[in-house]
Amino acid sequence: MLEDEFRLWLNDHIRYGRSLFRETTACARQMLLDQGNLPIVDALHINLDGNVIDTFSMPLLPIAPREDSERLFENIKKLIQWYQELMTFLEEQGLWLSKG
């Protein structure tokens, strides 16, 4: 249905989107794995009388290096831009009907 030029653009754009998804997923996965190395905090519930009624452990979350957070959010911005470009292309080619 598409002319060669547009088909090539679409193929390249989809390939680029796949790499963005892989990179963003890997970044998020690594950030979550790094959370497993954080210290565990013992917490407790105290009733109104000052008695401990429950104890539990929980990880000290979320702590992530600034660089990791910045990289994740930069990738998310790239994904949003990629998606908007894809939708614009599909609408221009008559392959996607926009609402309204």
pLDDT score for 59: 77
**Residue 87 belongs to some domain of the structure:** yes
Residue at 19 is within a domain: yes
Q: DSSP H helical segments within 1-100, as ranges?
A: 4-35, 66-92
Domain that holds residue 31: 4-92
Q: Work out the number of other CB atoms within 10 angstroms of the CB of residue 21.
A: 13
19-49 pLDDT, tens per residue? 999 999 999 999 888 887 788 888 899 999 9
User: Within a domain: residue 22?
Assistant: yes
CA distance 65 to 76: 17
C-alpha 15/C-alpha 27 separation (Å) is 18
pTM over 0.75: no
Count structural domains, the chain: 1
Residues 87, 100: Cα–Cα separation, whole Å: 14
pLDDT of residue 41: 86
Tokens 């990179």 locate to: 23
Confirm whether 98 is domain-assigned: no
Q: What is the DSSP letter of 2?
A: -
Using the 8-state DSSP alphabet, how is residue 45 labeled?
E
